[in-house]
Amino acid sequence: MMGDKYEKNCDMIKDTILEVQKQFKEALAKVQEALALEEIKNTFLGRKGKVAGLFSMMGEVPAEEKKDLGQLLNKLKIELQSDFDAKVSEFTSSTSKKEWVDYTLPGYSMPKGSRHPLTQAVDDMLSIFQRLGFDIAYGPEVETDWFNFESLNFPPNHPARDMQDTFYTEGGGILRTHTSPVQTRYMSKHEPPVRIVAPGRVFRNEAISARSYCLFHQIEGLYIDTDITFADLKGTIELFCRMYYGKDVKIKFRTSYFPFTEPSAEIDVSCFLCGGKGCRVCKNTGWLEIMGCGMVDPNVMKAVNYDPEKYTGYAFGLGVERMVMMRLGINDIRTLFENDVEFLKQF
């Protein structure tokens, strides 16, 4: 009788081992959060858990069965523990990747970009000229001698053609030394009336210093039609200056010389910083030189097959860097080309 009971006990323990193993695996598979792991640990592996309960039944097992059963139980305990540990580490590593966020950290800043001061100035000026009825035209930076000089009435030995001032490309092209070639390029493709402004980069082989750089920007203007006079030029430039510098600005035309205009003038505006009283920016003269201009020379008209008896026109060319430097109080032209963000941020 006793033997029977023992045998039943042994079979029951073996069944229970399988049952506990099954329950444990099911419970572990369902775990979604760390707290639930704690419960499983208590239920199965704790001091009063199911595995411990099985061990305590060993007392009722006959000596000859103890070894086998003991091994089975140990195997169970080791297996459950290692499954459990695996689950714990799976859990902690995945939650650390997914959920570990420090909400107290400051956010990422998204610095706002801005247009370069030269681009801003060009855009502002172009939009004024557009409101005055000018179209925008562009020309190439690598020019031919004909467009850059010849068509603009430069005499063959004019000093501006000198190797010192002009960059030549290997193929015999030249880097345009001003935006004036856009005038004759445009005229050679369009019949009058012509009313354009042409912004762009120009290049000069000069010693680089705080005041001059090997490249800078100009805006060219050209208006050709029948009966255009110097008064039209004056009116347009005055209007432009008032729109750009403010209505109180004073304007002065000084006679000058350019091969492609006759008569020619240079334009000064009253210093916007001191209002004409004299300061560091205007070198105590009260005036700032801003552009060259004049009536288009008949020889330029002839170069593009316009009839100089029928058409007249004016042209002007302004330097953008000088204007921007005066406006923003920049005293070294090179800073406008270095693209140092710390410098540009100021504007």
Shorter beta-carbon distance to ligand DAH: residue 9 or 236:
236
Alpha carbons 316 and 112: distance in angstroms, whole number: 36
How many CB atoms lie under 10 A from the CB of residue 204? 18
Q: How far is the CB of 112 from ligand DAH (least distance, A)?
A: 35
One-letter amino acid identity for 194?
V
Shorter beta-carbon distance to ligand DAH: residue 134 or 316:
316
Determine, following the binding rule CB under 6 A, whether residue 166 of this chain makes contact with ligand DAH.
Answer: no
How many CB atoms lie under 10 A from the CB of residue 292? 23
Alpha carbons 53 and 68: distance in angstroms, whole number: 17
Determine, following the binding rule CB under 6 A, whether residue 180 of this chain makes contact with ligand DAH.
Answer: yes
Question: Footprint of ligand DAH on residues 284-323 (CB under 6 A)?
Answer: 292-294, 315-317
For 119, the enclosing helix (H) or strand (E) is helix 117-131
| Closest to 54 in 3D by CA, of 26, 24, 25 | 24
Q: What are phi and psi of 174, to 5 degrees?
A: -130, 150
Cα within 13 Å of Cα(342), Cβ side = 0
Token pair, residue 232, equals 């039209």
Q: How far is the CB of 339 from ligand DAH (least distance, A)?
A: 25
Question: Footprint of ligand DAH on residues 242-261 (CB under 6 A)?
Answer: 258, 261
Determine, following the binding rule CB under 6 A, whether residue 178 of this chain makes contact with ligand DAH.
Answer: yes
Is residue 44 within 8 A of residue 24, CB to CB? The reply is yes
Determine, following the binding rule CB under 6 A, whether residue 220 of this chain makes contact with ligand DAH.
Answer: yes
Shorter beta-carbon distance to ligand DAH: residue 221 or 276:
221
Shorter beta-carbon distance to ligand DAH: residue 165 or 338:
165
Shorter beta-carbon distance to ligand DAH: residue 24 or 260:
260
Q: How far is the CB of 261 from ligand DAH (least distance, A)?
A: 4
Interface residues with ligand DAH (CB under 6 A) are 178, 180, 220, 258, 261, 292-294, 315-317
